[in-house]
């Protein structure tokens, strides 16, 4: 079976505005040009996935069911605005300093670790070496790098913020590209799609 290419997207700060601790529908604001970007990605043939750390669960501010309901709401909103569907929303509810003991673990899924990307690759038969990771934090970039993806840092979120948790973070890793927003990133991905193979 032929492996498919993917674009992994952080949620808060890339698709929607980062409001720090998102727990309610009325806090959701889609970033400018997100709809146009998703249309470009749809044309490119890359399958879009969301991979996000959700510390609101670890802090006891929301349940996993709350996060999944919010993701479904965001999915519907993006579909209405762009006509494009996110293949799957992956999220990590853990944190090494979690308020709730059951989530206080050093997991493999929390970025900067690449667990969510590796899981998606297994479940959807993805070629990670031909895929992209787009995020607004260095943790996104490190996770993408560890998974073997091309990485793009966008400036629509917390791109200048210090890492929330430095555990497992290789700060020497730099993004392959830096873009203003997801739309600019999508044009780079589209250009890669249209580039002739190396000879």
Show which residues are catalytic: 10, 12
Q: Which two tokens stand for residue 127?
A: 């070629």
Q: What is the DSSP letter of 5?
A: P
Q: Which two tokens stand for residue 108?
A: 């493999």
Residue 174 has phi, psi (to 5 degrees) of -120, 150
Q: Which of 66, 56, 123, 49 is nearest to 93 (CA)?
A: 56
DSSP string, 124-145: HTB-GGG-EEEESSHHHHHHHH
Distance CA(165)–CA(96), nearest Å, equals 8
Q: Which of 95, 15, 18 is nearest to 53 (CA)?
A: 95
Alpha helices, DSSP H, located in the chain: 34-44, 55-58, 64-82, 115-124, 138-147, 182-194
CB–CB of 188/152 below 8 Å?
yes
């Amino acid at each position: 079976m032929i492996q498919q290419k993917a674009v992994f997207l952080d949620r808060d700060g890339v698709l929607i505005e980062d409001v720090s601790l998102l727990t309610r529908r009325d806090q959701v604001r889609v970033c400018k040009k997100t709809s146009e970007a998703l249309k470009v990605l749809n044309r490119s043939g890359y399958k879009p996935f969301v991979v996000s750390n959700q510390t609101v669960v670890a802090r006891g501010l929301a349940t996993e069911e709350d996060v999944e309901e919010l993701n479904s709401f965001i999915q519907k909103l993006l579909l209405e605005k762009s006509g494009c569907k996110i293949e799957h929303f992956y999220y990590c509810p853990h944190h090494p300093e979690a308020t709730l003991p059951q989530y206080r673990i050093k997991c493999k899924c929390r970025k900067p670790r690449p667990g969510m990307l590796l899981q998606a690759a297994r479940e959807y038969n993805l070629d990670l070496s031909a895929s992209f990771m787009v995020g607004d934090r260095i943790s996104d970039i490190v996770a993408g790098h560890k998974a073997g993806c091309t990485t793009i840092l966008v400036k629509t979120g917390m791109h200048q913020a210090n890492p929330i948790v430095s555990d497992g973070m290789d700060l020497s890793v730099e993004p392959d590209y830096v873009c203003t927003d997801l739309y600019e990133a999508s044009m780079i991905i589209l250009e890669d799609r249209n580039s002739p193979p190396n000879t």
